[in-house]
């Protein structure tokens, strides 16, 4: 019975890695669509969101089967519960990549008001955070999970820089306002993706220690 349970936990880890890969690809493709002003890439991100949603349902079903059929002990229950929380954040990251892509389509018809520098860096940073948070779960690596949480400062600082730059451009010429707002929205979506990666890392810590945001839960 335990061997079967362990096999299903391995399957759970593999499925999380697969969902993480889908999410990482969505973030990266949305960034590429933005940089290249390629509407087709943006549309592929939007179309691909259904695969992320399907993977969430698949993992949710597996987690519920593990809880109902295997009667897991506290350590295993933490791992399964954390996975259920993590996929919610991952699904929302997919939604935000879709939102970014929709804005990218609207921006394809006009020249950018400034060279994009910091938003692509935000995309790179959030991909790193998502990848490492899932790695931390699979490897049960507390230090890596904490590193993800700490790295959110990088994303926040980049967002502040983007915001200052865009405000300055609007002050220089009010005609920049509409595009500046769209670009700021995109930066905000990446900032939120960073927050979701932090949430994932916090649930990783819970899965290992039973602590969530410094409170003992299980």
User: b or e along 187-204 (b: 16 or more beta carbons within 10 Å of the residue's beta carbon)?
Assistant: bbbbbbbbbbbbbbbbbb
Q: 11 near 62, Cβ under 8 Å?
A: yes
Give the pTM: 0.93
pLDDT along the chain (218 residues), means of 10: 78 94 96 96 97 97 87 84 96 97 94 93 95 93 97 97 95 92 97 97 94 72
Q: 194 near 156, Cβ under 8 Å?
A: yes
Residue 34: per-residue pLDDT: 96
Secondary structure (3-state) at 110: coil
Residue 93: per-residue pLDDT: 97
Residue 163: per-residue pLDDT: 96
Residues whose CB falls within 8 Å of the CB of residue 207, separated by 6 or more in sequence, listed in order: 78, 79, 81, 82, 83, 137, 140
Residue 7: per-residue pLDDT: 87
Residues whose CB falls within 8 Å of the CB of residue 181, separated by 6 or more in sequence, listed in order: none
Residue 72: per-residue pLDDT: 72
Instruction: Report how far residue 118's alpha carbon sits from residue 14's, in angstroms, rounded to the nearest whole number.
Output: 33
Per this entry, what is the length of the chain? 218
Residue 38: per-residue pLDDT: 96
* Topology of the domain comprising 2-216: Methane Monooxygenase Hydroxylase; Chain G, domain 1 (1.20.58)
The closest alpha carbon to 90, from 155, 22, 147, 32, belongs to: 22
| Every domain of the chain and the residues it spans | 2-216
Instruction: Report how far residue 198's alpha carbon sits from residue 133's, in angstroms, rounded to the nearest whole number.
Output: 8
Residue 215's DSSP bridge partners are 212
Residue 190: per-residue pLDDT: 97
């Amino acid at each position: 019975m335990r061997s079967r349970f362990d096999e299903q936990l391995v399957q759970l880890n593999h499925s999380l890695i697969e969902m993480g890969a889908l999410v990482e690809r969505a973030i990266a493709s949305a960034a590429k669509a933005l940089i290249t002003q390629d509407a087709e890439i943006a549309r592929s991100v939007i179309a691909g969101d259904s695969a992320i949603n399907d993977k969430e349902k698949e993992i949710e079903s597996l987690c519920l089967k593990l809880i109902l059929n295997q009667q897991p002990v506290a350590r295993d229950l933490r791992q399964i519960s954390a996975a259920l929380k993590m996929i919610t954040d991952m699904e929302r990251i997919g939604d935000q990549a879709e939102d970014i892509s929709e804005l990218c389509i609207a921006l394809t018809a006009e020249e950018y008001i400034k060279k994009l520098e910091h938003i692509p860096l935000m995309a790179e940073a959030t991909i790193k955070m998502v990848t490492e948070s899932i790695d931390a779960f699979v490897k049960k690596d507390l230090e890596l999970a904490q590193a993800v949480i700490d790295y959110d400062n990088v994303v926040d600082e980049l967002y502040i820089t983007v915001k200052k730059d865009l405000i300055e451009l609007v002050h220089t010429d009010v005609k920049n306002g509409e595009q500046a707002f769209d670009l700021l929205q995109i930066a905000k979506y990446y900032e939120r993706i960073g927050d979701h990666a932090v949430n994932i890392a916090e649930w990783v810590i819970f899965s290992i220690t039973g602590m969530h945001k410094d409170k003992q839960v299980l």
